[in-house]
């Protein structure tokens, strides 16, 4: 990839004059962009699984929150190994290995369902997420580098815009194929237990999750084949000389701009995952809606998320990415505060709208964090992917708070996340933005 001459990134309106793609990268760019759609499906099937496993295994909100912990810990533990692997084998090998691990994890849902053990499902989710750690580390970094540096945020927002489309598909699949609509009262549960039929009901609910995941695994294996048959370009960080892992990590851990980006990403992912994980429960607790209706609300908020991604990619032609993100944070702080203080239909619609304004945050923080890293981009990208640990940490915290107080008060955790991301956008970027300019 040819390095573009340095430009003033803080100036508004300049991004519109920059080409988004490097020569010869269009076909790989399209394939990798399709991967964003693919992994959006399981990301939001998790929100359905939380509700489903609370029924089929009769567990608490905190225990159900371990779905997200198992999923996102796969990212945390495999992101750095994936970067080290791709440093030697390249992006293409990372994509293929990630898809194979992802497919294996989905196929493990079948024996997990037959065994009827919640812990087995958590293992399957961990294996899936291990594959996704490879895909996210490779995809986000590849897209950010597959063109001029000054259009990296816009390019990554464009590709990431297909991720919520996958999320919408995942939520619809989960609502229609996994959620049965059968909600038993405590009286009905006692009646089925007396007839020795309750275990059969739980098994029926558990088995509903298998088929969607098996199909998803088959699609992942097909993607691995197509990528194997496609030629990928050599990017700037691929052409870098060899250097010890310790030396690179030491340099990265002294990079204040990257560390701020990792912190912002941690709180963003925690806010996003927590918001969607307990949205169905919020709708049901404060409106009395059925789980199916709540599932459709979840699908609707994901539509808002997708619209927000495309809108943000367009607005970045005219507005500085960090400034746009800071404005969105302020709006979400107000929306979530209303949802916390006034639970009910008003709160439901406030949370519904937050997805539009959170949509640009992950890709924008990721692209900003990579600025100026050059040959350290793969390892830097892996650290940003590891920040997905926010989903594993903050979601169970919301579960604890919801069990001890209320679901509405649990949304105070995403609220705090938006405050911190806003500080990163308005303060952190103005102080370190100039220092992170890419070198020619």
Helices (H), 342-438: 345-358, 361-370, 377-386, 389-404, 407-410, 412-423, 429-432
**Separation of alpha carbons 182 and 184, rounded Å:** 6
Average pLDDT, the chain: 81
How far apart CA 156 and CA 118 sit, in angstroms, is 36
Q: Are 418 and 271 in contact (CB under 8 A)?
A: yes
Q: Regarding the domain with residue range 26-235+244-436, which homologous superfamily does it belong to in the CATH classification?
A: MFS general substrate transporter like domains (1.20.1250.20)
pLDDT digits (tens, 9 = 90+) for 62-97: 777 778 778 878 878 888 888 888 888 888 999 999
How many percent of the chain have pLDDT more than 90? 28
| pLDDT (0 to 100) of residue 6 | 37
Which of the pair, 439 or 276, is modelled with greater confidence?
Answer: 276
Confidence of residue 9 (pLDDT cuts 50, 70, 90): very low
User: What is the band of 429 on the pLDDT scale with cuts at 50, 70, 90?
Assistant: low
Residues written for the chain = 440
The string of pLDDT tens digits covering residues 327-381 is: 999 999 999 999 999 999 999 999 999 999 999 999 899 888 888 887 787 788 8
Q: At residue 4, does pLDDT exceed 50? A: no
pLDDT per residue over 34-61, tens digit each?
998 998 888 777 777 777 777 667 677 7
Q: Which of 344, 363, 357, 361 is nearest to 304 (CA)?
A: 357
Report which of 221, 180, 236, 228 is spatially closest to residue 203, judged by C-alpha positions.
180
Cβ atoms of 350 and 212 closer than 8 Å: no
pLDDT of 200-250, one tens digit each? 776 777 777 888 889 999 999 999 999 998 888 776 655 554 555 555 777
Per-residue pLDDT of 373-385, as tens digits, reads: 877 877 888 888 8
- pLDDT(3) > 80: no
pLDDT the model gives residue 142: 86
pLDDT tens-digit readout, 282-301? 999 999 898 888 888 988 99
Q: Residue 304's pLDDT is what? A: 92
Q: Name which of 31, 74, 305 is nearest 170 in CA terms.
A: 305
What global pTM score does this model have? 0.70
DSSP sequence for 315-346: HTTTS-HHHHHHHHHHHHHHHHHHHHHSTTHH
pLDDT of residue 365: 92
Q: What is the mean pLDDT of residues 303-330?
A: 90
pLDDT at 342 (0 to 100): 92
101: left (phi over 0), alpha (psi -120 to 50) or beta: alpha
Distance separating alpha carbons of residues 163 and 166, to the nearest angstrom: 5
pLDDT value at 138 more than 60: yes
């Amino acid at each position: 990839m040819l390095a573009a001459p340095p430009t003033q990134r803080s100036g508004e309106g300049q991004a519109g004059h920059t080409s988004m793609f490097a020569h010869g990268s269009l076909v790989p760019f399209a394939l990798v962009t399709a991967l964003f759609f693919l992994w959006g499906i399981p990301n939001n099937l998790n929100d359905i699984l939380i509700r489903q496993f609370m029924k089929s295994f009769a567990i608490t909100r905190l225990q159900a929150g371990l779905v997200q912990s198992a999923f996102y810990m796969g990212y945390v533990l495999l992101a750095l190994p994936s970067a080290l692997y791709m440093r030697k084998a390249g992006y293409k090998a990372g994509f293929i290995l990630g898809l194979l691990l992802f497919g294996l994890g989905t196929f493990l849902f079948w024996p997990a369902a037959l065994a009827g053990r919640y812990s087995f499902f958590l293992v399957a989710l961990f294996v899936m997420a291990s594959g996704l750690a490879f895909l996210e580390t490779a995809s986000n970094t590849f897209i950010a580098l597959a063109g001029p540096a000054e259009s990296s945020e816009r390019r990554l927002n464009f590709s990431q815009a297909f991720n919520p489309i996958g999320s919408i598909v995942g939520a619809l699949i989960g609502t229609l194929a996994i959620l049965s609509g059968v909600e038993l009262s405590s009286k009905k549960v006692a009646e089925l237990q007396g007839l020795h039929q309750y275990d059969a009901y739980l098994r029926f609910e558990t088995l509903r999750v298998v088929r969607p995941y098996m199909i998803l695994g088959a699609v992942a294996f097909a993607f691995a084949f197509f990528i194997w048959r496609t030629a990928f370009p050599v990017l700037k960080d691929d052409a870098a000389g060899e250097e010890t892992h310790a030396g690179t990590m030491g340099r990265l851990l002294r990079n204040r701009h990257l560390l701020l980006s990792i912190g912002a990403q941690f709180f963003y992912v925690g806010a996003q995952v927590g918001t969607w994980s307990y949205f169905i429960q919020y709708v049901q607790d404060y409106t009395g809606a059925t789980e199916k209706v709540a599932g459709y609300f979840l699908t609707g908020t994901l539509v808002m998320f997708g619209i927000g991604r495309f809108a943000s990619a367009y607005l970045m032609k005219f507005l500085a990415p960090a400034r746009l993100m800071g404005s969105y944070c302020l709006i979400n702080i107000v929306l979530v505060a209303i949802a916390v203080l006034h639970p009910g239909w008003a709160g439901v619609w406030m949370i519904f709208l937050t997805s539009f304004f959170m949509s640009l945050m992950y890709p924008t923080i990721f692209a900003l964090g990579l600025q100026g890293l050059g040959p350290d981009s793969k390892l830097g990208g892996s650290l940003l992917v590891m920040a997905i640990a926010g989903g594993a940490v903050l979601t169970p915290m919301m579960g604890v708070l919801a069990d001890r107080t209320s679901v509405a008060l649990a949304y105070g955790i995403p609220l705090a996340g938006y405050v911190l991301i806003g500080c990163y956008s308005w303060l952190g970027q103005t102080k370190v933005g100039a220092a992170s300019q890419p070198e020619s």
